[in-house]
Amino acid sequence: MAVPETFFNIFPTWIGVYGLAITMFSISFILFYKRVITHISNSIYNLDFSNIETKFKNVLTNGLFQKKVLQRTSFTKDRSGIGHVIIFISFLSYALSYILFIFADSINSNFSKVVLGTFLKNLYLSYLEILAILVFIALITALIRRWILIPNRLKFSLTKKPESIIIIVLIASLMLTHLLTESVNHLIKPETAYSFNFISEYLSKPFKSLNYDINSYILLHDLFWWIHLTIILSFAVYIPISKHLHLLVSPMSFFFGNTKSSGIIDTPLNLEEMETFGANNLRTFKPKQIMDFFACAVCGRCSEVCPTNLTDKELSPMHFINNLMQSSSKTEEDLNIGVIDNQVSKTEIWDCLNCGACVNECPVGIEHISPIIDMRRHLVMEKSEMPKTAESTLLSLEQGGHPWRGTTFTRSDWHKDLNVKTISDNPDAEYLLWVGCTGALVERNQKVIKSLVKILNSANVNFAILSNEETCTGDPAKRIGNEYLFQILANQNIQNFIKYDIKKIITHCPHCLNTIKNEYPALGFKAEVINYTELITKLIDQKDLIPTNETSKTVSYHDPCFLGRHNKIYEEPRDIVDSIPGMKRMEMCKNKDKALCCGAGGGHMWIEESNEKRVSHLRTDEFLETKSDTLAVACPFCLQMFEEGISAKSQSDKEVKDIAELLEESIEENK
């Protein structure tokens, strides 16, 4: 890259470069500041800088190494991640080249040669040219993909805005002007050693055939060069006003993002002193949430996997985030009115199943669930507005300590005739088996807990239960948005854990697992909390449990959102199924972290869906496609949802069973 000596003989290059750069970067910075930084700093909450090491690692893994961008890449099905990586690498590579070849070299034209050495410099230039070609290919595929082929996730009007084309054109013209500059450069400077810029050399041929004199070529070169610089700097200004903002904001989102489980919702400990509960405008959203609103690259991956979007409900995560971003351009007055019922509807807020599929897919680090819960908190704790069934669930939690209003069971009924000891009778038990409200109080789910108890007994596990001293973990309250009620219930349980000096807890229900393991530490409780499948696989490995009874059933396992995606437990349930002699297991089309929610998360076990299409039926259809006899589940909500789904589709020869039930059948006569 050769830097012109002057700007067409008017003034030295460095004045032009730095003058233009400073102007454009300042404009860009001011735009960025006004659009994004002011809102982040206006939030009534502070940034959280704890766990800095993990935060940096997150930026490296997902930002620099593009982990999430590439996580779904498959040469046959989805190549868009590769395209983005190419453009990303070229962005970084060219940025470096600008520092060296434009900003440094415009002051002292030998700078880059001295720093890199001629060989490395030419190699780098060659590399840049190859990148340019690759970028062209990537851009053309992107264009065809977004505007002609239009895959599912790009079918929206939001994804077809002119913005995308402008960005493609800008990048393409950057590559083009670079190549043009380099091509003409060949005709100015003599051949040097280590020159292997084949592409630009090839492209110089048409220019050579014009047979200009050298000064004309110099003019042409300088023209291309200055145009290239102008486009770079215009791009810098375009970034903060377009979705290309994700360049700047996404690393921030990754930095301040969740470092532990995606199933965690924050637990504010100062409810009494809070100025306002939850969030309804940019002042009351948290800095990380505000970053998320601006980080969106409008790629559509979240909406493509969102169960509510797949059932045509109002909520579509991508639109949701973009609408919240739009609220930033409102006046102070409008800001005070709030986003709910303006940029975001109550239906959307209540639609969310908290399944985390969106968060899992998002390549720029947006955590969509977090603002939804904060808006629910605003509705529930500030305004007392919520769906009727959610209200009666909260009432049931307040009065009875469980969400199952109308149950005629008490927590001790299911184990009346079983060999189970309470913790007060067996204070030295190694494990506390946390039964959960559903397992204790809903008839179909009681069968599962009974199976689990039989299994634990047959392996001589020393466990005890709290029985009537158990009260709901508080998860439904937290997810519906009543953080106050959650903390009351959680603290009650924690008091009991302390009273009985509980160190190890086995849970059946994944929601209980997530809450006790991931949320309770914020309230000061730490213990080893495991899911029953984790213990059982160990027992099978140790031969304390030996499944003997053969079966000819074919089984498909459905990954519960709160066991799989949020807590990354995928293999253990599968291992248990595989250990049962004769049982054949078939994976469903969307499995592990891609599994489709059963429809009961986010409080939806007790909230009606906002339209006729049921998420559970969609997933049931996916199960039926496998043609397996049995749908294996590991969550009491999934069990209920799928039994209803199967019966609604009149598939009476199919059954839904918990992993514990399947295993118990296999060790039945084995005592």
Partner 1 sequence: MNILSVIINENETFNLSSLEIFSFIDELKCENKITSIVFGGEKSVIAKIPCDEIVYVPLNSSVALNPNDVLFSIDKFMDNNLFDLIIFQKDDISNYVSPALSFRKKIPYLPDVKKIISKDNKSFKFVRPVHGESAEGIYSVDSTSPLIIKIRKSSFEPKQLNENEKPVNEIILNKNLEKSFKIIETKKIKPKGIQLDDADVVISGGRGVGSSEGFEKIKELANLLNGAVGASRAAVESEWIETSQLVGLTGKWINPALYFTFGISGASQHLAGCINSKNIVAVNTDPEASIFNYSKYGIIADCNEFIAEVIEEIKNMNKRVVQIV
Partner 2 sequence: MKICVCIKEVPDSDVPSNKLRIDQENNKIIPIENVSSIVNGFDLNAVELALRFSENYDDASISIISIGNDLTSDVIKKPLAMGADDIITCEDPIIDKLDIYGISFILSKIIEKTGPYDIIFCGRHASDFDNASTPFGISEILSIPLINIVKNITIKGEKLLIDRVITDGFQTIEADLPLIITTGSQVGDPRYPTLRGIMDASKKEIKKITLNELGISELSIAPKIQIEKLYFPENENKVEIIKGSNNKEKAINLLSKLKEEGVI
Question: Which listed option, partner 1, partner 2, none, makes contact with residue 443 (CB within 5 to 8 Å by class)?
Answer: partner 1
What sign does the CA torsion over 393, 398, 402, 408 have? negative
Question: Which listed option, partner 1, partner 2, none, makes contact with residue 162 (CB within 5 to 8 Å by class)?
Answer: none
**DSSP β-bridge partners for residue 32:** none
- Closest distance to partner 1 from the beta carbon of 392 (Å): 9
**How far apart are the C-alpha atoms of 405 and 364, rounded to whole Å?**
41
- One-letter identity of residue 516: I
**DSSP β-bridge partners for residue 506:** 433, 530
Q: Which of 41, 61, 384, 424 binds partner 2 (CB under 8 A)?
A: 384
**How far apart are the C-alpha atoms of 130 and 389, rounded to whole Å?**
60
Site residues for partner 1, window 611-630 (CB under 8 A)?
A: none
Using CB under 8 A as the binding criterion, the count of chain residues that bind partner 2 stands at 24
Determine contact, residues 410/446, Cβ cutoff 8 Å.
no
**How far apart are the C-alpha atoms of 370 and 485, rounded to whole Å?**
18
Q: Which stretch binds partner 2 (CB under 8 A): 24-32, 230-238, 395-403, 503-511?
A: 395-403
Q: Which helix (H) or strand (E) holds 242?
A: none
179 vs 380, beta carbon nearer partner 2: 380
What sign does the CA torsion over 54, 255, 306, 262 have? positive
Q: Which stretch binds partner 2 (CB under 8 A): 260-268, 386-394, 452-460, 536-544?
A: 386-394
**Interface with partner 2 includes 394 (CB under 8 A)?**
yes
Q: Which residue has the tokens 């219930």?
A: 489
Which x/- pattern over 424-443 shows residues binding partner 1 (rule: CB under 8 A)?
A: -------------------x
- Closest distance to partner 2 from the beta carbon of 484 (Å): 5
Helix (H, G, I), strand (E, B), or coil: what is residue 12?
Answer: strand
265 vs 646, beta carbon nearer partner 1: 646
Helix (H, G, I), strand (E, B), or coil: what is residue 11?
Answer: strand
Question: Which listed option, partner 2, partner 1, none, makes contact with residue 400 (CB within 5 to 8 Å by class)?
Answer: partner 2
| Per-position DSSP letters for 440-480, written without gaps between them | HHSHHHHHHHHHHHHHHHHTT--EEB-GGG----SHHHHHH
Which x/- pattern over 233-272 shows residues binding partner 2 (rule: CB under 8 A)?
A: --------------------------------------xx
What phi and psi, each to the nearest 5 degrees, are found at residue 4? -60, 150
Question: Which listed option, partner 2, partner 1, none, makes contact with residue 653 (CB within 5 to 8 Å by class)?
Answer: none
**Interface with partner 2 includes 468 (CB under 8 A)?**
yes
- One-letter identity of residue 88: F
> Per-residue b/e over 410-419, b at no fewer than 16 CB within 10 Å?
ebebbbeeee
Q: Which of 424, 548, 611, 647 binds partner 1 (CB under 8 A)?
A: 647
- Closest distance to partner 2 from the beta carbon of 408 (Å): 4
Using CB under 8 A as the binding criterion, the count of chain residues that bind partner 1 stands at 4
- Closest distance to partner 1 from the beta carbon of 28 (Å): 56
48 vs 443, beta carbon nearer partner 1: 443
Degrees (nearest 5) of the Cα angle 549, 550, 555? Answer: 120
26 vs 647, beta carbon nearer partner 1: 647
Q: Which helix (H) or strand (E) holds 556?
A: strand 554-557
Nearest to 442 by CA among 474, 402, 396: 402
230 vs 495, beta carbon nearer partner 2: 495
* Ordered strands of the 528-531 beta sheet: 463-464, 431-434, 504-507, 528-531
Query: What single DSSP character describes residue 595?
Result: P
Q: Which residue has the tokens 């118990």?
A: 664
177 vs 471, beta carbon nearer partner 2: 471
**How far apart are the C-alpha atoms of 310 and 614, rounded to whole Å?**
10
- Closest distance to partner 1 from the beta carbon of 645 (Å): 14
| Per-position DSSP letters for 15-49, written without gaps between them | HHHHHHHHHHHHHHHHHHIIIIIHHHHHSSSPP--
**Interface with partner 2 includes 277 (CB under 8 A)?**
yes
- Closest distance to partner 1 from the beta carbon of 406 (Å): 6
- Closest distance to partner 1 from the beta carbon of 276 (Å): 32
Q: Which of 484, 522, 586, 618 binds partner 2 (CB under 8 A)?
A: 484
**Interface with partner 1 includes 408 (CB under 8 A)?**
yes
Which x/- pattern over 440-459 shows residues binding partner 1 (rule: CB under 8 A)?
A: ---x----------------
Specify whether the backbone of 181 is left (phi greater than 0), alpha (psi in -120 to 50) or beta.
alpha
Question: Which listed option, partner 1, partner 2, none, makes contact with residue 91 (CB within 5 to 8 Å by class)?
Answer: none
Site residues for partner 1, window 387-406 (CB under 8 A)?
A: 406
Determine contact, residues 398/476, Cβ cutoff 8 Å.
no
Q: Which of 391, 578, 655, 668 binds partner 2 (CB under 8 A)?
A: 391
SS3 content of the chain, % helix, strand, coil (to 5): 60, 5, 35
- Closest distance to partner 2 from the beta carbon of 401 (Å): 9
Specify whether the backbone of 501 is left (phi greater than 0), alpha (psi in -120 to 50) or beta.
left
- Closest distance to partner 2 from the beta carbon of 399 (Å): 6
- Closest distance to partner 2 from the beta carbon of 389 (Å): 12
Question: Which listed option, partner 1, partner 2, none, makes contact with residue 575 (CB within 5 to 8 Å by class)?
Answer: none
- Closest distance to partner 2 from the beta carbon of 394 (Å): 7
Site residues for partner 2, window 398-417 (CB under 8 A)?
A: 399-400, 405-406, 408, 410-412
Structure tokens that stand for 67 in this block: 């982990």
- Closest distance to partner 2 from the beta carbon of 442 (Å): 15
State the residues that interact with partner 2 by CB under 8 A. 271-272, 277, 380-384, 386, 388, 391, 394-395, 399-400, 405-406, 408, 410-412, 468, 482, 484
State the residues that interact with partner 1 by CB under 8 A. 406, 408, 443, 647
